[in-house]
């Protein structure tokens, strides 16, 4: 797989990364360790070198499970790969389960989170350390200063922000240069395209999470698709609701028609569409399926012409779509 470069330090990563959250969180009952190991090692074989996790990607009883899995499986490959993890969100265990999530970006909390992540990931450094969500109670400049200190110590090599707007990005970058911004981005969620000019000017990469709209843009689901509400967040996502199926039929037709022209799949087209926009966009689709893992990797080989991209964008601007899942509301721990 070809590589791309993020930020002024030119962090080298595979053109597609692997979002690992679904192995233990949000997309069905967690897989067994053996299944996790098989999928992650297959990703290595396919050329993935960029693995994305977070300290809260696990069930409430063990929110650190995802990092622990990656720490065990990826240790033999550590010198060949890049690991991204995140800080700034914790479970409010003072409440009854399911525990609500809180933002907490106080300096002491960042330092504690990092030490925990390093231990669980079996490493002495984090290649890309993200602020998971903005904490309204802690100035972003304070967060940047804290991470800058960790970079000087060598424990963090690069840092980024997830779900950030331009004002926050500029403030953070002025204190400690950002390597990447990780925001939601897909054919159904294009509002962050407004950041591209700023990111280009500041030399900041863009890592796209949920690039397939939580799997919907694979065009493999229909109005009869069922998700276990106990383990799978898609059960409550608007794009998967039976009553919204007809609202998205034109989008599915667009994907299928474009995929047919390139002899590939809708998922590959969805990923290639964003990768062809900028050389510093890196999508991180997640999957629990070996076939989907291999399928997604093919997106790096699809080159859409400028004309094709413009035609797709024009179509996306005009066709009807349902609402799409856009994130969660978080409270600040400082205000509790």
Catalytic residue list: 57
Kindly tell me the number of DSSP H helices and DSSP E strands found in the chain: 10, 13
Q: How many Cα atoms sit within 13 Å of 111 on the Cβ side?
A: 10
**Coil/strand/helix, residue 185:** coil
Cα–Cα nearest to 315, from 239, 246, 253, 236: 253
CB 310 within 8 A of CB 66: no
CB 133 within 8 A of CB 330: yes
The long-range contacts involving 98-101, CB below 8 angstroms and separated by at least 24 positions, are 98/60, 99/60, 100/331, 101/56, 101/328, 101/330
Q: How many Cα atoms sit within 13 Å of 136 on the Cβ side?
A: 7
């Amino acid at each position: 797989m070809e590589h791309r470069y993020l930020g002024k330090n030119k962090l080298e990563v595979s053109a597609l990364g692997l979002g690992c959250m679904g192995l233990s969180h949000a997309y069905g009952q967690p897989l067994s360790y053996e299944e996790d190991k098989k999928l992650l090692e297959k990703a290595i074989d396919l050329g993935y070198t960029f693995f994305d996790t977070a300290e809260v990607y696990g069930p409430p009883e063990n929110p650190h499970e995802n990092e622990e899995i990656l720490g065990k499986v990826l240790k033999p490959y550590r010198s060949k790969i890049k690991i991204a993890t995140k800080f700034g969100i914790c479970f409010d265990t003072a409440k009854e389960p399911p525990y609500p999530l809180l933002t907490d970006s106080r300096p002491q909390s960042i330092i504690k989170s990092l030490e925990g992540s390093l231990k669980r990931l079996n490493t002495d450094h984090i290649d890309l350390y993200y602020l998971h969500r903005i904490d309204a109670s802690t100035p972003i400049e304070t967060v940047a200063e804290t991470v800058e200190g960790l970079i000087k110590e060598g424990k963090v090599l690069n840092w980024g922000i997830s779900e950030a707007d331009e004002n926050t990005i500029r403030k953070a970058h002025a204190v400690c240069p950002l390597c990447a911004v990780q925001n939601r981005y897909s054919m159904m969620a294009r509002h962050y395209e407004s950041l591209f000019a700023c990111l280009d000017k500041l030399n900041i990469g863009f890592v796209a999470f949920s690039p397939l709209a939580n799997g919907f843009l694979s065009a493999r689901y229909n109005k009869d698709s069922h998700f276990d509400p106990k383990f799978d967040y898609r059960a409550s996502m608007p794009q998967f609701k039976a009553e919204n199926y007809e609202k998205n039929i034109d989008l599915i037709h667009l994907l299928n028609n474009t995929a047919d022209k390139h002899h590939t799949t809708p998922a590959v087209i969805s990923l290639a569409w964003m990768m062809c926009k900028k050389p510093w966009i890196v999508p991180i689709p997640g999957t629990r399926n070996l076939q989907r893992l291999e399928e997604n990797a093919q997106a790096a080989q699809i080159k859409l012409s400028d004309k094709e991209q413009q035609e797709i964008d024009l179509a996306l601007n005009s066709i009807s779509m349902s609402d799409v899942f856009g994130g969660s509301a978080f409270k600040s721990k400082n205000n509790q």
